[in-house]
């Protein structure tokens, strides 16, 4: 991320907050976070500010398109330029496939699909007119999931939204290739987080994985940094599966 201005949507906690820290350590010189929890976003910016970097946040419910665009524009105005957008915000509901309610469908599609879509549109409108660095005007990385490629009757609505994000990634990548904007996604399997342990599926995943364990969050984050960083000058429309062999593509 050396020399880039990075914006992370959903960067207030979890993998997003880890990405914020790692982006700074990797050389990002400006950092923005958009999150529904403004206090969490501000805390996640502390490592950047401790290094004297320009950093700002905005609060946003990404289910609403106008809010997405206003939040993006507010962060971009303060930082001056967005080189890399990372869409990390998502919810992970679990409900048997025959029992999913309309409210659960609406929340899943609103956050996981529509929010990602609107943030990509905002980023592209910002990136298209800006001066390129080398051949690249901007990079977008979307967090998807291996659930997009597996049968998951306990969270079919989540899996469906992540499959939709893979499709959106490819469509956007094709549309903006001529503009020098690279759009990719990263699809992890379950990560070894406290939340995963509390949900009780990490041990099951470890047994199913050829490597015998869930990923450390940093092992997934490294691929996000690669896809969104200056070393990626040609890859676009790809979905990078980081699953320890749980899913092969």
Q: Which of 92, 117, 158, 248 is catalytic?
A: 158
Q: Give dist(CA 63, CA 48) in Å, integer.
A: 28
Active site residue 92: no
Ranges of beta strands (E only) in the chain are 5-9, 30-35, 54-59, 84-87, 138-143, 181-188, 239-242
Q: Give dist(CA 51, CA 73) in Å, integer.
A: 25
87 touches 169 (CB < 8 A): no
SS3 of residue 183 by DSSP: strand
SS3 of residue 133 by DSSP: strand
54 touches 33 (CB < 8 A): no
Angle, nearest 10°, between helix axes 116-127 and 65-79? 40
Name the residues annotated as catalytic: 158
């Amino acid at each position: 991320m050396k020399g880039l201005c990075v914006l992370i949507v959903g960067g207030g906690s979890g993998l997003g907050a880890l990405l914020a820290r790692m982006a700074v350590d990797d050389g990002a010189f400006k950092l923005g976070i958009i999150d529904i929890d403004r206090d969490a976003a501000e805390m996640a910016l502390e490592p950047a500010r401790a290094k004297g970097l320009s950093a700002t946040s905005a609060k946003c419910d990404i289910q609403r398109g106008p809010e997405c665009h206003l939040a993006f524009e507010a962060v971009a105005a303060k930082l001056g330029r967005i080189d890399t957008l990372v869409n990390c915000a998502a919810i992970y509901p679990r409900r048997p496939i025959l029992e999913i309610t309309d409210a659960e469908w609406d929340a899943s599609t609103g956050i996981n699909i529509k929010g990602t879509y609107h943030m990509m549109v905002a980023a592209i409108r910002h990136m298209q007119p800006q001066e390129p660095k080398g051949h690249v005007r901007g990079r977008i990385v979307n967090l998807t999931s291996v659930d997009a490629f597996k049968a998951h009757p306990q969270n079919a609505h989540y899996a469906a939204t992540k499959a939709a994000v893979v499709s959106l990634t490819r469509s956007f990548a094709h549309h903006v290739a001529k503009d020098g904007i690279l759009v990719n996604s990263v699809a992890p399997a379950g990560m070894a987080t406290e939340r995963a342990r509390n949900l009780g599926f990490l041990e099951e995943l470890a047994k199913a994985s050829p490597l015998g364990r869930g990923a450390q969050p940093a092992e997934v984050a490294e691929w996000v940094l690669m896809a969104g960083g200056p070393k990626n000058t040609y890859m676009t429309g790809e979905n990078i599966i980081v699953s320890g062999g749980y899913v092969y593509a």
